[in-house]
Amino acid sequence: MWRNSEESYGLVAIGLHWLVALVVIAMFALGLYMVGLGYYDPWYHRAPALHKSIGLLLAGLFLLRLVWRALDVTPRPLGRRTSERRIARLVHWLLYILLAVTLFAGYLIASADGRPVAVFGWFDIPALLLPMEGSLLQKLSFDKQEDFAGAVHAIAAWALVILAALHGLAAFKHHFIDRDATLKRMLWPRSPRAHLGK
């Protein structure tokens, strides 16, 4: 089953969900690793180039996921309480917003000098925004676009990972305490005839 149904997620939605999640975790780990590198470390220049390239590919994957979500059916939520379902919906949108902010801020860091950003040497993404020298952002105690975007990138990335961890814990709560199929249906498509609430 490639597409979603009212009861289950399809293979495309499941694949995009886990691929984005794994890349985000890997990128967060790489970002933490980069912070501790010294100038003479062999990965001092390689790691940021890798981080930028993967980040831009992740942005494309994220856009694809948003388009697929808009075109496909959204399975019905399995939470027993209305408040729980509302919180779940809010968390999903917050995850999307935080990922979008993290990715865009990362792009602003990479393109702060006005030069295009190379993606593994395959193609370049142009710098759409020029450096914000002398702009209002400097008056807000940030000297450059890179500094401001760097602060936003770090805060949004930490918030994203923490919220994603809580999202994962909520899935385990559904599986082990509520004993519904919230986690199962994000692992593999289930038959529309399956009783997902059991």
pLDDT tens figures, 68-112: 999 999 888 776 678 888 998 999 999 999 999 999 999 999 988
Question: Residue 31 burial by CB count (10 A; 0-12/13-18/19+): exposed, middle or buried?
Answer: buried
Domain of residue 151, residue span: 11-186
Rounded to 10 deg, the angle between the 145-173 and 11-35 helix axes is 130
Position 6 in a domain: no
**In-domain check, residue 34:** yes
3 found inside a domain: no
Q: Digits of tens for pLDDT over the chain (198 positions)?
A: 899 998 889 999 999 999 999 999 999 999 999 999 998 999 999 999 999 999 999 999 999 999 999 999 988 877 667 888 899 899 999 999 999 999 999 999 998 877 899 999 999 999 876 555 555 544 444 456 788 899 999 999 999 999 999 999 999 998 999 898 889 999 988 765 554 444
What's the CA gap between 176 and 79, in Å, rounded? 13
Average pLDDT, the chain: 88
Here the tokens at position 192 are 């529309």
Say if 193 falls within a structural domain: no
Which tokens hold the place of 20? 């984005």
- 2 within some domain: no
Question: What pTM value is reported for the model?
Answer: 0.87
Helix residue spans in 10-144 (DSSP H) = 11-35, 43-71, 82-110, 136-139
- How many domains does one find in the chain? 1
Domain of residue 179, CATH code: 1.20.950
119 belongs to a structural domain: yes
Domain assignment present for residue 41? The answer is: yes
Any domain includes 137:
yes
